[in-house]
Structure 1
Amino acid sequence: MRRADRLFQIVQLIRGRRLSTAQFLAERLEVSERTVYRDVADLMAQGVPIEGEAGVGYRMRPGFDLPPLMFTHEEAQALVASVRIAQPRLDEALARQAEAALSKILAVLPAPARAAAESLAVYAPPVHFDTRTRARLESLRLATEARRFVRIKYLDLKEQESERTLRPLGCFYWGAVWTLAAWCEHRNAFRNFRIDRIQHLELLDETFRDEPGKTMADLFRSIDAEMHERDTATDA
């Protein structure tokens, strides 16, 4: 990679994150941390408003912007592939936004890059989610973003019905079904729910804040701990 390209990539990586360490930048660019320190110092000397220091991390001062980006053929193809795969699996509102975003990107690409992207021979078969499931998915996505409690009536795989008040944390796609990961106020624990088995969904006006032990990060940590215990037991 030419040094000019590397400097440009450093700017893009820093502006796209809250804080970027030299180690992170070095790994992404496949250079040494010493090279990163030198390149960042040169960028700062040239007037690029990077804040931070070695050993702590770097961030871009608010308000800094660059001209519109151009994508390589491969990057444009990756965007097309991502949208083709994701669009049939998203709720209708998000799928429309994905298509609109891709159209804007393709519209400003040079002709060769656009032709390469549009001719990409990677496709995804349609996924037939019923209308109710798609509507539930959109509602849960919005509730998660707004930190709103939801109340559901749920029919589990044993055909047992229950009513729960949940803190929705995230929606996960497993290749056949969508599930909701949530903190269940009734069980006082993390629970997963198949979205296609939610019989009734109500978004409550009450909102919640992240609390220790009840966040997505805590859920991931609990999963990691369970997997580690399982691996340890298997090795024993």
Structure 2
Amino acid sequence: MNKTDRLLAIVLELQSREVVRGEDLADLFDTSVRTIYRDIQALSEAGVPIIGAPGTGYSLMKGYFLPPISFTVEEAVTLLIGTDFIEQRFDDEYRVRAQAARRKIEAILSESVRNETTRVRKALRLLTPGKRVALSKEREYFEKIRRAILAERKIRFHYSKGIGDSKGNHHRDRTVAPYGLVLVEGSWMLVARCDLRQDIRHFRLSRMTELVDLEERFELPAHFNLKEYTPSDDRHLRVRLRFNHDIADKVKESNYHYMEDMEEHQDGLHVVLRVRQLDELLQWVLGWGAGVIVLEPESFRNWIREEAQKMLKRY
């Protein structure tokens, strides 16, 4: 990065944060602290109202704003693809905002950059998920939950777990304090404190029905940070499978989230998975038909055998 680009980047960084230390700027731009000091001095001499001193941090005088001067083709493409993604996967309000943002970005591009950006974007495409009905419901719930998070209000919904509890129940009403939304493998997941479990739990929006806003308020814990949040891993059951060579590439491409390790052997692709309950793997393993063999545990191997016998009786 040359000096001119770095000076602009420093101003933009100061615009986005209240106080920035010289050491942090040096790390960010991969240069020395002494160089940052000289850059700050150069900006001040050029009329940029920077407050602060070496060792304490720098900030811009309140009210000062420097709009972006220009975008490179790569920067413009990145921003425009971002608006495409938001338009596809967020709710109606954000979809409208994404369209407006795209028009503003395109309006300030130079003709040459705009033409080149259009050419690059024609070679890239984000595919919308095929399940339109499910996606529409997910968008509707996304908007309700997003508003509840901002208003710090609890929500209630009917939730389908897919795996029953000890009494065989697969559905249960949940009242939760919504903490945040996370996109996991193309599906939105709610991170929330569940009143029933008295702990943080994760809920797929696609499994929710009858979602309603509540008047009850909650307060987000001061120590909770969604970006730093790491869920506890309680997947203690280890399953080992062997896949035929002819489907090994498809197994790898599936990128199944329970996979922990895989290794090519002479007799096939060996895959290790970790799950909470064997039920979570049953349908996925059966889906590979005769191309997979359960090596361990023996109980799961027997279960697959029993399911295969039931299937054979149907035919």
Normalising by structure 1, what TM-score?
0.83
CA distance in 1, matches of 2:61, 2:194: 40
**Structure-2 separation of matches of 1:199 and 1:4:** 54
| In 1: Cα distance, 2:68 partner to 2:8 partner | 13
Query: Match for 1:132 among 137, 161, 185?
Result: 137
CA deviations 1:179-212 (Å, max 9, x no partner) are 1011223222110000011112111233332324
Query: 2:225 aligned to 192, 210, 216, which one?
Result: 216
From the superposition, tell whether residues 45 and 176 of structure 1 become closer, same or farther in structure 2 (CA, over 3 Å): closer
* 2:159 matched residue in structure 1: 154
3-state SS in 2 of match to 1:113: helix
Distance 1:162 1:62 in 2: 51
Decide which moves more: 193-202 or 30-39: 30-39
Deviates more, 1:4-13 or 1:17-26: 17-26
The answer as to whether partners of 2:12 and 2:66 remain within 8 angstroms in 1 is no
Which residue in 1 is equivalent to 2:195? 185
**Unmatched tracts of structure 2, length 5 or more:** 165-169, 235-315
CA distance in 2 between partners of 1:162 and 1:58 (Å): 52
Conservation of the 8 A alpha-carbon contact between 1:80 and 1:118: no
Q: Give the structure with higher Rg (CA).
A: 2
For 1:163 and 1:33, the matched residues in 2 are separated by 56
Secondary structure of 1:18's partner? Answer: coil
Please give the alpha-carbon distance, in whole angstroms, between the structure 2 residues aligned to 1:69 and 1:208.
42
RCO greater where, 1 or 2, for CA within 8 Å and sep 6 or more?
1
- Structure 1, gaps ≥5 residues long: 228-236
Deviation per residue, 1:100-124 (Å, 9 max, x gap): 2011110221111111122222111
User: Residue 148 of structure 2 is aligned with which of 118, 123, 143?
Assistant: 143
The amino acid across from 2:125 in the alignment is: Y
CA distance in 2, matches of 1:90, 1:116: 27
The one-letter code matched in structure 2 to 1:25 is L
**Aligned: 1:90 with 2:90:** yes
Letter of the 2:95 partner, please give it. Answer: A
Bigger Cα displacement from structure 2, 203-212 vs 96-105? 203-212
> 1:23 and 2:23 equivalent?
yes
Determine helix, strand or coil for the equivalent of 2:128: coil
**SS of match in other structure, 2:228:** helix
- Can you list the C-alpha shifts for 1:49-93, whole angstroms capped at 9, x where unaligned? 223333333222221112453212221111122233443222232
Structure 1 CA distance, aligned partners of 2:7 and 2:228?
Answer: 35
Deviations 1:109-157 (A, max 9, x none): 1111111122222111112342222100111112222222212221212
CA distance in 1, matches of 2:228, 2:106: 36
Q: CA deviation at 1:221?
A: 4.6
Specify the alignment match of 1:13 in structure 2.
13
29-38 or 190-199, larger mean C-alpha shift: 29-38
Q: Which moved more, 1:49-58 or 1:115-124?
A: 49-58
How does the TM-score come out when normalised to structure 2?
0.64
Distance 1:152 1:200 in 2: 5
The 1-side partners of 2:114 and 2:154 are apart by: 43
1:46: how far off?
A: 4.1
Distance 1:142 1:67 in 2: 29
CA pair 163-17 structure 1, distance change in 2 beyond 3 A: same
SS in 1 for 2:64: coil
Q: Is contact 2:106–2:114 with CA below 8 Å preserved after alignment?
A: yes
What fraction of aligned residue pairs are identical, expressed as a percent?
Answer: 31
Q: What letter matches 1:143 in structure 2?
A: A
- What SS does the aligned partner of 1:125 have? coil
